[in-house]
A = this chain, B = another copy of it.
Amino acid sequence: MAPDHGFTVTYRFKGGVDEALARAHDLRYEQTVEFPPDLTPDRIAQTIVGQVVGHEPDPAGGHRVTIAYPTGVAAGELTQFLNVVFGNSSIKPGIRVERFDLSVEALAPFRGPRFGRAGLRAKLGAPTRPLLCTALKPMGLSPGELARQAYQFALGGIDLIKDDHGLSDQTFAPYSERVRACVAAVADANAKTGYRSLYLPNVTAPLDRIVDRAFAVREAGASGLLISPGLTGFDAARLLAADDALSLPLISHPALLGSFTVSPDAGFSHFALYGQLGRLAGIDAVVFPSWGGRFAFTREECAAIARGTLESMGALAPSFPAPGGGMKRERVQEMLDVYGRDVIFLIGGDLHRPGPDLADTSWRFRELVEAYA
């Protein structure tokens, strides 16, 4: 529940209540003043240092402690907010960020997803059914080959056609050439089908080129952006989402973020990292590996991500969960059981498996999800 002022972070500590409270006492100093408590002036201890506001045993083991921080320590910056949440304490074992809750005041600097679930559905003209997403791959194809793929996917009714997250500006598929070719291909297909498939180029790039690449996308006529916040920092997403002149939906890829959730006793919970943080950074749809594929997330972790994209967060729009990996026809029902219809199914290699007619294979998935409208 969001506090009246400032923001709270709920940490899970290994061990029992006494150990957790002792460590939480250290942590509230570590995350703010990073200074010995006995040397910290009273006025600073009272106005800057975090305060323990609640604690409870965690059913999964360990003990949860919630710490409240004043809004001002985060300076209205996502970078400094993350620093207060977990900067130094990320280096200590046996502490995990389970969730955070921001007051209206602390949320003020963050607009969150510009489109969110409703906005993305409106863009696609798909008010209720599950959405479909795929990636242009494998890396190594030429812009022309990628564009032919994009055309087929759009023809088959895939809603969101994104660059594979490994496509940046390689000589075999230069950024500008690829974007122009794929935009044209998807537009051609849309003209035939009457659908509104979106092409989302990858703007994960060196810092000084991200914004330029994003605006190049807009000028070329593409309709969304892919970014990997683990590679660029989450603030890159925030910056793009906040840009009124850009105004494009943003889908995130989890590259390099795995280390934050690989230990159940460290890093961030799936709920906080993929659900809450992505949304705070303005991501409209968050890609993550669903259970049952070649990655190791559990069904419960995936469900927690979906909850995090929807959890009440002031006026911030909910984002879309976009589970990838292991999506097969026969798994649709069990995935809908967990995610509901507000989900984007990301289908990669499985679209290529049945044969070269990608439009036909795409269309079979499209028919499948249309049954759930």
Binding site for B on A (CB under 8 A): 26, 32-36, 39-41, 43-44, 47-48, 72-73, 75, 77-80, 82-84, 86-93, 135, 137-141, 164-166, 168-172, 204-208, 210-211, 228, 230-233, 235-236, 238-239, 254-263, 266-268, 289, 294-297, 348-349, 352-353
Contact = CB atoms under 8 A, between A and B. Distances in A.
Copies in the complex: 2
A267 B93 CA distance: 14
Nearest to A266: B262
Contact of A208 (B80, B82, B90, B239): B239
Given A207-B239, A231-B83, A235-B206, A168 B77 contact: yes
A172 B72 CA distance: 8
A172 B289 CA distance: 42
A339 B89 CA distance: 25
A87 B255 contact: yes
A166 B258 contact: no
Contact of A171 (B72, B82, B239): B72
Contact of A73 (B83, B166, B259, B266): B166
Nearest to A35: B138
Contacts of A238: 206-207
